[in-house]
Amino acid sequence: MNKVIIYTDGGARNNPGPAAIGIVIGEKEYSKFIGRATNNEAEYQAVIFALKKVKQLIGKSKAKNSEIEIHSDSELLISQLNAQYKIKEKNLVPFFIEIWNLKQDFKDVKFIQIPREDNNRADSLVNRELNNQSKLF
């Protein structure tokens, strides 16, 4: 079985405000400006991007036999995805459903909360993207 560890982060300035996501899959790094969003929406969108990207990288057939670990420093995100917290913000429900559907492409997907300092690479990708975007305006 193939195991893939992914680090994700999402953030918004002024919450809601300009938002970006950062994803680290092994040595590969991805970041994207996602427009206006809340911090929580950005965190969810980072996981969605990560699951789609890892499936693209390893292929559909390999994905079916892969265990994915999503590491994030967002307590709310991880607790909601692990069904420990209810989703009170209705705007997060479609993201939750999309992640639930994407999980079906893999043998197993685990969501693991990590300390903020262990998520530096993904966090720096978010900040770099937001800083680059702010230079445009």
Asked whether residue 10 is domain-assigned, the answer is yes
Q: In terms of Cα–Cα distance, which of 114, 88, 95, 133 is closest to 7? A: 114
Per residue in 3-61, pLDDT (tens digit) is: 999 999 999 999 999 999 999 999 999 999 999 999 999 999 999 999 999 999 999 99
Percent of the chain having pLDDT more than 70? 98
Asked whether residue 41 is domain-assigned, the answer is yes
pTM, full prediction: 0.97
Asked whether residue 137 is domain-assigned, the answer is no
Asked whether residue 52 is domain-assigned, the answer is yes
Asked whether residue 125 is domain-assigned, the answer is yes
The domain of 115 spans 2-132
Asked whether residue 7 is domain-assigned, the answer is yes
| pLDDT-derived band at 82, boundaries 50, 70, 90 | very high
Cα-Cα-Cα-Cα dihedral of 56, 59, 62, 67, to 10°? Answer: 0
Asked whether residue 32 is domain-assigned, the answer is yes
How many structural domains is the chain composed of? 1
Residue 124 is predicted with a pLDDT of 98
Degrees (nearest 5) of the Cα angle 101, 106, 112? 85
Residues facing residue 137 across a β-bridge: none
Question: What is the arithmetic mean of pLDDT over 118-129?
Answer: 98
CATH of the domain at 28: 3.30.420.10
